[in-house]
Amino acid sequence: MNAILRGIKATYNFFSGDAIILSTVLIAFALGFFLDKVVGVSSLVLTIVFIALIVLGLALTLSREALSHQRIH
């Protein structure tokens, strides 16, 4: 069991290292798949939604980091 947990942690750190970024990327891919296959939106709309979600994840992570640095000082 310990080896499995180490493997999961190593995979997490390799791909993201941050839960917010990992979550928003997974949501972006899932929503992109749904919008493409089920709703059938255009590629332009799909691209805009995907990029917006990724940027949102990055912005949330950066704001969390900035807030944590303000608490230290």
Round to whole Å and give the CA distance between 55 and 64: 14
Q: pTM of the full predicted structure?
A: 0.71
Round to whole Å and give the CA distance between 15 and 66: 22
Q: Tell me: the pLDDT tens digits for 30-63?
A: 999 999 999 989 999 999 999 999 999 999 988 9
State the average pLDDT for the chain.
Answer: 86
Q: In this predicted structure, what is the pLDDT of residue 11?
A: 78
In DSSP notation, 42-53 reads: -HHHHHHHHHHH
Which has the closest alpha carbon to 16: 54, 45, 50, 43?
54
pLDDT-derived band at 73 (thresholds 50, 70, 90) equals: low
Round to whole Å and give the CA distance between 30 and 25: 9
Q: In this predicted structure, what is the pLDDT of residue 64?
A: 86
Q: Tell me: the pLDDT tens digits for 5-37?
A: 888 788 777 776 788 888 898 899 999 999 999
With vertex at residue 53, the alpha carbon angle to CA 48 and CA 56, rounded to the nearest 5 degrees, is 120
